[in-house]
Amino acid sequence: MGSVRTTCAYCGVGCGIVAESGVGRETRIRGDKNHPANLGRLCSKGTQLGETVGLEGRLHFPEIGGRRVSWDKAIGRVARGFADAIAQHGADSLAFYVSGQLLTEDYYVANKLMKGFIGSANIDTNSRLCMSSAVAAHTRAFGEDVVACSYADIDAASLFVLVGSNTAWCHPVIYQRIIAARAERGAKVVVIDPRRTETCADADLHLPLRPGSDIALFNGLLAHCRAAGLVDESYLSAHVEVPDGFWDGLDEYTLVRTAALCDLAEVHVAAFFELFAANPAALTLFSQGINQSIRGTDQGNAIINLHLATARIGKPGAGPFSITGQPNAMGGREVGGLATTLAAHRDFAPENQAEVQRFWSSPSIAAKPGLKAVDLFRAVRDGRIKALWIMATNPAVSLPDVTLVREALAACPLVVVSDCIADTDTSRFAHVKLPALAWGEKDGTVTNSERMISRQRSFLPSPGEARPDWWIVSQVAQKMGWRDSFAYGHPAEIFREHARLSTYRNEGKRCFDIGPLAALSNRAYDDLEPQAWGERPFANGRYFTPSGKARMIPVAQRPLEPALERWPLTLNTGRYRDHWHTMTRTALSPRLSQHRREPLVELHPADAAELGLADGALARVITPQGESIYRTLLTLGQRRSDAFVPIHWTDLQSGGGRTGRLARAAVDPVSGQPGFKQCPARIEPFAPDWHGFLVARSLPDRIAAAYFTRIRMRHGWLLELAGTRDPGPLVASLLPKGELLESRDPARGVLRAAVYDGEQLLAALYLTRNGPLPDRDWVTSQLSSCQASPIELLAGRSARPAPDRGAIVCSCFDVGERAILDAANGGAKTIEAIGVATCAGTNCGSCRPAIAELLKKVAKPEAMEAA
C-alpha cells in the first residue's frame, strides 16, 4: 500500500489527508498532520471517504442519447452543437454552469474557453448559490474579493462570533479549533442563528434572532461601539472611505430598537455588545445564514463595516471571516468562474478585457458580465440559451424553483452533463453525458477558505474511460478550432498559465498574485506543499480600491416580509452533519447514512400542536413552488413559526424530503444569490393509510410509495415507506424473487413478509396501519447473518431481545444514544469520560457537540426543556 497526501473532497476547510489504497480500491484515510489547515484532524465525512470511492453508480463511458459512444464521437457532437448555436444565434446562446467542486485547472480552462474563445460571459457556477454575496460584499468594501482572515487567527482570537453558520456540522475541523481555543484560553463563543444548532452546544451566548434581521443586529452593534468610543477615527481617516451621512443612518439602531427588530431579549443583545466591546481580538465567521438571503450582500457589508470601523481587521485574531462551502469555491473565484468576473480577480473594465485577451491571444473576449445562475436558467427556459454544459453540479436539485429548472432542461436543444455519476436528477435531462474522474482519481489544486492552495492527488486508477474535466473541456475547445490555445497535456501546464495570468500586469493592483508559482516544474507542482496567497491581507491598511482605502457601505435593515395568510411559516433550509449536498457520494457510505436516516422537518412543539402534528409523524411541507413529505422532529431549538428542512434528498434518494422543490427564486439584488434561508411555507399533516419499512439486500427497481427514503446499511438497504392506497401492488414490486413467507392480518392492516434464498435472508417487509413496528437495526442485522428463525423474523423480534440502541451519535465507532446515556448515568460526566466508556467521540470528534448536549440533558433535564 503506497500512501498519497491529498486534500479532502468535501468542504472549504480544505483538510489534508493521507490516503492509502490497496486491493480493489480499498482505501484507508487519515488526517495529514503536516497540513496547516487541519494538523491531522478530520471530521466524520473526511474520515469515511474510503466508503465512497467504490465504482457503484459511476459513469464509465461517454453517452449520447443514453447510448455508449467513443470520446471522439461525444466530443464531436458537443463541439458541433456549440458551433451551430454560435453560428445561428451568437455566442450568448451558449452557457456553462460549473461548480466549486471542479479543480482550479478544470475551472480555468472552462472560463478561458467561454470568455476568451466563445466570447461570452455566460459561465456561472453553483458558487452563485453559495458565496456570491460574500464576493460582492468583499468587492464593495475592499475593492477585491479577498478573505481577510486565516485559520491561524482562530488561535489568536478571544471572541468568536459565528453568524449564520452551523460550524459544528459544516466546518467541523474549524469548529474543533474554536472549541479548543475556548477550552485552553477561555475564548468566548457567540452563535447568531435563528435555530439552536449543535454549534450552540459550547457557546457562551446564543442569539436566536428573527430570520433576516442580521443587519439590525450588526448596525446596532456598530452604533454601540461608536457610543462606547471604540470607533477608531485615526484608522478610518487613514484607511477607509466613509460616505457622508454614514453615521446618521446608524442613530436609529438603539439597543431597544435593535432587540425589537431582531426579536431578542435586550439583556442578550447587550451581553453580545459588551463581549464584542471587551474583546479586540474578535473574529466574525459567517456563511450561509448571511449569504443565502435576499439581503446577503448588505448583510456581509454590515459585518465588514463593524470590523473596519473598529480597526479589527488585518490583525491577528480579528476580522470578518467568510468561510467557504465547497472544496474549491475559492479557486473558482480566483480563475473568474463567476459570470460577473472576467479572470484572475479582474472585472470587465476595458483595460482588463484588453489585458486578458492579449494574454490568451484569443479571438474575442467577453465584453460584459454574463447571466447569473437563476437568470441563466430562466434564459434557458425562455429559449434564449440553445446549448448548456453542466459540470460537477446538480442544478435539478440545488437551484431554487427546480420545477422551472427542469422545464428549462427539458426544453433546451442541447444539454451536456459532465459528472462522475451515471444517474443524477440533472443527468436525466442530458443529451450528452461525459464521464469525469472523481476525487481520488483526479489531480490538480484547490483553494480553501483561508486562501491556501493545496494539491489534490490521485491514488486510484481511472475507471472505464473517465477523464479529467480539464481534458474534456480542452478536447471540446480543440475540436472547435482552438487547438494551440488548449493543447494541455498536464494540469501543471494549466496551473502555471493561471499563475502567470494572476501576475500579468498586476503591479500590486490586485491581492491575488501567485506569480512565483508560475515557475513550478511539473515535478515541483506534483510535490507542492500547501501555499497561501495574500498572507495577512490588509495588515498594512492598504486595500485594493482605486484610492487604496476600504469603503464603509451604508446598509439599512429593510422591513421583513410580514407572514402571509396562506403561508404563515418561514422555511429555512440547510445541512446535516454527515451528508454532502445531493448525496451522490455520502449516501454510498453506510456509516454516514446512520446519523440522520430520514429528511426531517424541525418545528417548535407549539406550532406542531396547532397543526395537529405529533413528533415522528409525517408532514407535507408546501410552498408556492412545490411540496414534499418529511418526518416531523419537534424541538425547542426552533423559533415559533419557523421550520427547518435539510437540502440533501433527491428524486433518486427518496419520495420525500425533496427540498429542491420548495425554494423560491428570489435573489439578492447585488449578488444574484438566492435567499434559500427564508421562504414562505405552510405545513399540513400527512396521514398515510399504512407505513412501515423494507430491509433488503438490493434495491427494488421501482418504489411507488407516497413517501419513501432509502438508507444504505452495511449489508443492504433500509427503506422507510408510507402510502395511502392499497399497498398490495407495491408489495409485489418491492419483494425480490425467492422463497416467500408471509403473514397478514387485514383487520389490523398488518402485513409482514420475508424472502429467502435458502438460508439467506433477501428481504423483509413490515407494514402496518398504525400498530408498532419491529426494531429496524435488529431486522437489518439479519442480512449479515440470519440467526433469527423465520417465525422470529415475521414476529420482528428475537426470542432473546437486545436493547434498542437509539439514534447513532458517533459514526466512527457506531455508538448510539442509548450507550452514551447509560455511560452518563453511570457516572461519566465529561466528553472524555464518555470516550473512555464507549469510544464515542475519540476519533474524528464530529459528534462531540452531540455528546455535550446529551450530557447536559442528563445533568439538568428540566433546564434543557426551558432553554
Q: Which residues bind ligand SF4 (CB under 6 A)?
A: 8, 10-11, 13-15, 38, 42-43, 45-46, 171-173
Looking up cell 425467492 gives: 738
Q: Which does 14 bind (CB under 5 to 8 A by kind): Mo ion, ligand SF4, ligand MGD, none?
A: ligand SF4
Q: Which does 173 bind (CB under 5 to 8 A by kind): Mo ion, ligand MGD, ligand SF4, none?
A: ligand SF4
Residue with smaller CB distance to ligand SF4, 162 or 767: 162
Q: Considering CB under 5 A, how many residues would be counted as binding Mo ion? A: 2
Give yes or no for residue 130 binding ligand MGD (CB under 6 A): yes
Give yes or no for residue 663 binding ligand MGD (CB under 6 A): yes
Smallest distance from the beta carbon of 614 to ligand MGD, in angstroms? 24
Give yes or no for residue 197 binding ligand MGD (CB under 6 A): yes
- What is Dmax (Cα atoms) for the chain? 83
What x/- string results for residues 381 through 400 when contact with ligand MGD is judged by CB under 6 A?
----------xxxxx-xx--
Q: Which does 15 bind (CB under 5 to 8 A by kind): ligand SF4, Mo ion, ligand MGD, none?
A: ligand SF4
Give yes or no for residue 12 binding Mo ion (CB under 5 A): no
Alpha-carbon torsion (164, 168, 171, 174), positive or negative = positive
Q: Which does 42 bind (CB under 5 to 8 A by kind): ligand SF4, ligand MGD, Mo ion, none?
A: ligand SF4
The secondary structure element, H or E, covering residue 381 is: helix 373-381
Q: Which does 239 bind (CB under 5 to 8 A by kind): ligand SF4, Mo ion, ligand MGD, none?
A: none
| d(C-alpha 596, C-alpha 579), whole Å | 9
| d(C-alpha 311, C-alpha 231), whole Å | 8
Q: Which does 46 bind (CB under 5 to 8 A by kind): ligand SF4, Mo ion, ligand MGD, none?
A: ligand SF4
Residue with smaller CB distance to ligand MGD, 114 or 550: 114
Give yes or no for residue 584 binding ligand MGD (CB under 6 A): yes
Nearest residue to ligand SF4, using CB? 46
- Contact with ligand MGD (CB under 6 A): which of 14, 319, 574, 835? 574
Give yes or no for residue 165 binding ligand MGD (CB under 6 A): yes
Smallest distance from the beta carbon of 172 to ligand MGD, in angstroms? 8
| d(C-alpha 379, C-alpha 89), whole Å | 13
Smallest distance from the beta carbon of 170 to ligand SF4, in angstroms? 8
Stretch of 25-33, 122-130, 624-632, 756-764 lying at the interface with Mo ion (CB under 5 A): 122-130
List phi, psi (to 5°) of 618.
-85, 145
Q: Which does 663 bind (CB under 5 to 8 A by kind): ligand SF4, Mo ion, ligand MGD, none?
A: ligand MGD
Which grid coordinates belong to 769? 396501519
Residue with smaller CB distance to Mo ion, 143 or 325: 325
- Contact with ligand MGD (CB under 6 A): which of 111, 288, 310, 638? 288
Residue with smaller CB distance to Mo ion, 475 or 678: 678
Give yes or no for residue 594 binding ligand MGD (CB under 6 A): no
- Number of other CB atoms surrounding residue 565 within 10 Å: 7
Alpha-carbon torsion (617, 622, 628, 633), positive or negative = negative
Smallest distance from the beta carbon of 555 to ligand MGD, in angstroms? 15
Give yes or no for residue 325 binding Mo ion (CB under 5 A): yes
Nearest to residue 11, comparing CAs of 231, 138, 201, 166?
A: 166
Instruction: Name 763's Cβ contacts closer than 8 Å, sequence gap at least 6.
Output: 694, 695, 696, 697, 734, 735, 736, 738, 753, 754, 755
Smallest distance from the beta carbon of 68 to ligand MGD, in angstroms? 18
Nearest residue to Mo ion, using CB? 325
- Contact with ligand MGD (CB under 6 A): which of 176, 326, 454, 632? 326
Which grid coordinates belong to 235? 484608522
Q: Considering CB under 6 A, how many residues would be counted as binding ligand MGD? A: 58
Side by side, which strands form the sheet with 3-7?
3-7, 16-21, 27-31
657, 628 Cβ separation under 8 angstroms: yes
For residue 143, the 8-state DSSP code is S
382, 371 Cβ separation under 8 angstroms: no
| d(C-alpha 119, C-alpha 673), whole Å | 24
| d(C-alpha 756, C-alpha 770), whole Å | 27
Residue with smaller CB distance to ligand MGD, 424 or 502: 424
Give yes or no for residue 130 binding Mo ion (CB under 5 A): yes
Residue with smaller CB distance to Mo ion, 325 or 816: 325
The residues in 18-47 that bind ligand MGD, with binding defined as CB under 6 A, are 45
Give yes or no for residue 163 binding ligand MGD (CB under 6 A): yes
For residue 779, the 8-state DSSP code is H
Backbone conformation region of residue 534, classed left if phi is above 0, alpha if psi is from -120 to 50, else beta: left
| d(C-alpha 457, C-alpha 17), whole Å | 10
Which grid coordinates belong to 489? 497535456
Residue 367 in 3-state DSSP?
coil
- Contact with ligand MGD (CB under 6 A): which of 19, 134, 192, 282? 192
Smallest distance from the beta carbon of 12 to ligand MGD, in angstroms? 6
Residue with smaller CB distance to ligand MGD, 220 or 774: 220
Looking up cell 465567521 gives: 285
Which grid coordinates belong to 2? 503506497
Residue 764 C-alpha from the chain's centroid = 35
Q: Which does 475 bind (CB under 5 to 8 A by kind): Mo ion, ligand SF4, ligand MGD, none?
A: none
Stretch of 14-22, 75-83, 323-331, 342-350 lying at the interface with Mo ion (CB under 5 A): 323-331
Alpha-carbon torsion (378, 383, 386, 387), positive or negative = positive
Residue with smaller CB distance to ligand SF4, 366 or 452: 452
Residue with smaller CB distance to ligand MGD, 44 or 780: 44
Strands 188-192 and 159-163: parallel
Residue with smaller CB distance to ligand SF4, 42 or 302: 42
Q: Which does 647 bind (CB under 5 to 8 A by kind): ligand MGD, Mo ion, ligand SF4, none?
A: ligand MGD
Angle at 563 between CA 622 and CA 571, to 5 degrees: 40
Q: Which does 13 bind (CB under 5 to 8 A by kind): Mo ion, ligand MGD, ligand SF4, none?
A: ligand SF4
Alpha-carbon torsion (546, 551, 553, 554), positive or negative = negative
Long-range contacts of 311-314 (CB under 8 A, 24+ apart): 311/232, 311/235, 311/236, 312/280, 312/281, 312/282, 313/148, 313/538, 314/148, 314/536, 314/537, 314/538, 314/539, 314/540, 314/541
Instruction: Name 512's Cβ contacts closer than 8 Å, sequence gap at least 6.
Output: 144, 146, 334, 344, 345, 502, 533, 534
Which residues make beta-bridge pairs with 418? Answer: 391, 434
Smallest distance from the beta carbon of 135 to Mo ion, in angstroms? 12
- Contact with ligand MGD (CB under 6 A): which of 148, 477, 647, 779? 647
Residue with smaller CB distance to ligand MGD, 53 or 754: 53
Residue with smaller CB distance to ligand SF4, 47 or 475: 47
Residue 469 in 3-state DSSP?
helix
Q: Which does 99 bind (CB under 5 to 8 A by kind): ligand MGD, Mo ion, ligand SF4, none?
A: ligand MGD
Residue with smaller CB distance to ligand SF4, 14 or 336: 14
Residue ranges that bind ligand MGD, judged by CB under 6 A: 11, 45, 99, 101, 126, 129-130, 163-166, 169-170, 192-195, 197, 211-212, 214, 287-289, 292, 325-326, 391-395, 397-398, 418-421, 424, 436, 438, 442, 469, 572-575, 577, 579-582, 584, 647, 659, 663, 676-677
Q: Which positions touch Mo ion (CB under 5 A)?
A: 130, 325
